[in-house]
Structure 1
Amino acid sequence: MGTLLWLAFVLALAGALLNGLGALWQNSAVRDKQDGQLVKLGALLDLLRNRRWLMGQSAVIVGSVLHFGALAFAPVSVIQPIGVLAIAVTTVASSRREHTSLTFGSWLALAAVVMGVGGFTSLAATNAQVTSVSDATAVLIVVIVGLILMVLGLVGSIGRGLVRCLAFAAGGGVVFGFASVVVRLAALAVEHRNLADFPTGSLIGAVLAIPVAIWFIQQAHASGPPNVVVAALTLTDPVVAIGIGYVALGEGAKTSTIATLSEAGCFLLAAAGIVLLSKLQPAKPPGLAETVEGPREREEIRSRGPRR
């Protein structure tokens, strides 16, 4: 058992590293073409020819596979807090890429997100362990997830800036949270050799939802910085996973009032960190103060020609 836990730890750590770097590469590729705009189908197809985006997407896919693989050997309470490290990877790597330094406020916001998500997941997953799901409940879960995605998609389409970024990132987190529950259910069914509880229908639904999650995440990247996208994804993921256990599976009755209040406090801490992280910009070192941020401004400067 100890060996399997170590294997799960290594898989989750590698997955967090790849997810963090992959998000940074994707964000850079998307914002070069679609800064602040909705990514339409044609633009998405263009991204399929972008090496940087393909490298980022490949890293995210491999990272997600490693994360789900870790869930086969360890509970969510062990794996999900490790996945939160993707936020730190993205934030630090983004700062290095832009040749900027993180302010004290940025570090404080980052710590709030990591501690909040890690604490929420550890508390919630300890008090609510999913064991099996009936066919009727599986259908209910799929319907709920679908409705949430529709609402978030509508908010993201109507909203602008941070609202759009957080709405679409949360939509991607909804799918990954749902998928995490399904993968854990499948692993438990195989481990207990009880194929009658294998979530075939839910697994099919999770697979079909992956393209939707990819589209949502690209919209989020087009409207916000990579660390905010990853933070929103990482926060929504466990909230949805535990929420399914609470609402659809009736596991909320097993949680004490103190544990519930503690979970709410951790959630609010993480949410506050995400909002603060989105509002703080890294401090630029001397000599880079005039660096142009967006692709439109860079194109405008190129069109003016060289200075005389």
Structure 2
Amino acid sequence: MLNGVGALWQNTAVRDKQNGKLVSIGSLLDLLRNRRWLLGQLAVVIGSALHFGALAFAPVTVIQPIGVLGIAVTTIATARRDRVNPTIGTWLSLAAIVLGVGGFTSLAASNAQVTRVSDETAVLIAMIVGLLLMVLGLVGSIGHGLVRCLAFAAGGGVVFGFASVVIRLAALSLEHGNPADFPTGSLIGAVLSIPVAVWFIQQAHASGPPDLVVAALTLADPIVAIGIGYVALGEGATTSTIATLAEGVCFLLAALGIVMLPKTRRKSSDKSAAPSHAAQYSEN
């Protein structure tokens, strides 16, 4: 909930200054003097801290589906801000995202067992995360409107997914009393990547609505976290074909909901008598 409300406040502050434009370093520094942006960032920081703290006590399969509720909070709050009533299409898109992300996370995480990370594996994970960020950053830089929004939001999700894996590994090493397995290098890398995630997310806010930003973040986060487990940690070896197909269906369902969400927003804004932020998002 905190992440959803924080995203809305940040989005409003960023759009007021950088509507549809790339956020420069100077503009980002200007946001540090914006009270609404600071409150939004504080809400996101607290929400993220609670999320990572929860990962120390429960697996991703329990925590991540709860985080999906942030999409609902942001969608409803955005509709109230823009003074439009969510259409049936909006609710259907929202349901598809929530069910898709929740189902994907539950299926994938229940078939994966987190293990220790060797130095070689840590380097591989860092390379995968870095490559994903480079590709998404390039797409976001040359893209426009919703393409830019989704690319940069997904980039932020990549970082949070990486951080989720590292936090879970660190918690398990402490829980089992194995300090040798503590992912010190990966933890340092996760902390250093946070500023990149913040910059990516501000770019996403400048080009799209807050609920779409949160939806893309929430979808990318578990995909990256579980994908790292499959590729780098070899956790996908025990996953059955049926479970893999079901995960694919859930992913496609969530992706369809994200694609349809801005289209339903356009219909909502068209029905509104007064101009709103929603119309601006659709034009971008």
If the TM-score is normalised by the length of the shorter chain, which range does it land in?
A: over 0.9
2:268 to 258, 280, 283: 283
- Residue type at the aligned position of 2:132: I
2:108 to 110, 124, 127: 124
1:187 to 152, 165, 171: 171
- Whether the 8 Å CA contact 1:117–1:234 is kept in 2: the answer is yes
- Whether the 8 Å CA contact 1:33–1:295 is kept in 2: the answer is no
Q: Which has the larger radius of gyration?
A: 1
- Whether the 8 Å CA contact 1:95–1:102 is kept in 2: the answer is yes
> In the TM superposition, what is the alpha-carbon distance from 1:144 to its structure 2 partner?
1.0
- Whether the 8 Å CA contact 2:155–2:200 is kept in 1: the answer is yes
**1:74: which partner in 2?**
58
> In the TM superposition, what is the alpha-carbon distance from 1:129 to its structure 2 partner?
1.9
**1:4: which partner in 2?**
none
1:208 and 2:181 matched: no
- Residue type at the aligned position of 1:36: G
**1:252: which partner in 2?**
236
**1:299: which partner in 2?**
none
Q: Which secondary structure state, in structure 2, belongs to the residue aligned with residue 280 of structure 1?
A: helix
1:158 and 2:142 matched: yes
1:44 to 16, 28, 34: 28
Q: Which secondary structure state, in structure 2, belongs to the residue aligned with residue 276 of structure 1?
A: helix
Q: 1:294 to 1:85 in 2, by over 3 A?
A: closer
- Residue type at the aligned position of 1:214: V
Give the total of aligned pairs: 279
Q: Which secondary structure state, in structure 2, belongs to the residue aligned with residue 109 of structure 1?
A: helix
Deviations 1:257-305 (A, max 9, x none): 000000000000000000001222163698x513253899xxxxxxxxx
**1:100: which partner in 2?**
84
**1:63: which partner in 2?**
47
1:236 to 205, 216, 220: 220
- Residue type at the aligned position of 1:283: S
Structure 2 unaligned blocks of 5 or more: none
Q: 1:233 to 1:294 in 2, by over 3 A?
A: closer
Alignment TM-score, normalising by the size of structure 1:
0.88
CA distance in 1, matches of 2:3, 2:21: 23
**2:13: which partner in 1?**
29
- Residue type at the aligned position of 2:61: S
Q: 1:289 to 1:150 in 2, by over 3 A?
A: same
CA distance in 2, matches of 1:149, 1:248: 17
Structure 1 unaligned blocks of 5 or more: 1-16, 297-308
CA distance in 1, matches of 2:235, 2:165: 14
Q: 1:26 to 1:184 in 2, by over 3 A?
A: same
- Residue type at the aligned position of 1:224: G
> In the TM superposition, what is the alpha-carbon distance from 1:56 to its structure 2 partner?
0.3
> In the TM superposition, what is the alpha-carbon distance from 1:96 to its structure 2 partner?
1.2
Deviations 1:94-131 (A, max 9, x none): 11122210000000000000000000000000001212
User: Which runs of structure 1 show a deviation greater than 6 angstroms over 4 or more consecutive aligned residues?
Assistant: none
**1:18: which partner in 2?**
2
Aligned sequence identity (%): 76
- Residue type at the aligned position of 2:101: V
Q: Considering only aligned residues, what root-mean-square deviation do their CA atoms show, in Å?
A: 1.6
1:147 to 131, 134, 147: 131
